[in-house]
Amino acid sequence: SAVISQKPSRDICQRGTSLTIQCQVDSQVTMMFWYRQQPGQSLTLIATANQGSEATYESGFVIDKFPISRPNLTFSTLTVSNMSPEDSSIYLCSVEVHGLAGGGDTQYFGPGTRLTVL
């Protein structure tokens, strides 16, 4: 597995402002992912962050709203820009971990950042 941390764990922000969420993993990983989990809902993939290339965004998510950085193999940031109350969600990063001894790859999640926009 992998040890994944996120900062901040929670925040309350005013509409119109931006928040940058950090994700740190204890080992080098190629693929990192950012998800959104709206209150009481399932997880939705925002984008895939591959080190050394631009992030790939899923339908309904755009770079201007959710810019992502991936400066190295252990770190990524997600910025939620020009926030509105509809952006209130839990934002989770995850990493793909390659299996050992022929085992398949798996995906592990960070603890999440609970964002409330007033």
Residues of the shown chain interacting with another protein in the complex, contacts defined by CB under 8 A? 31, 33, 41-45, 48, 59, 92, 96-97, 104-112
Kindly state the smallest distance separating residue 36's Cβ from another protein, in Å.
11
Residue type, 86: E
Strands 56-57 and 43-50: antiparallel
CB nearer to another protein: pick between 42 and 53: 42
CB nearer to another protein: pick between 67 and 112: 112
Kindly state the smallest distance separating residue 98's Cβ from another protein, in Å.
9
Q: Strands, E, within the chain: which ranges? A: 4-7, 10-13, 19-25, 31-37, 43-50, 56-57, 68-72, 75-80, 89-97, 106-109, 113-117
Kindly state the smallest distance separating residue 110's Cβ from another protein, in Å.
6
- Tokens coding 28: 């080098």
CB nearer to another protein: pick between 86 and 105: 105
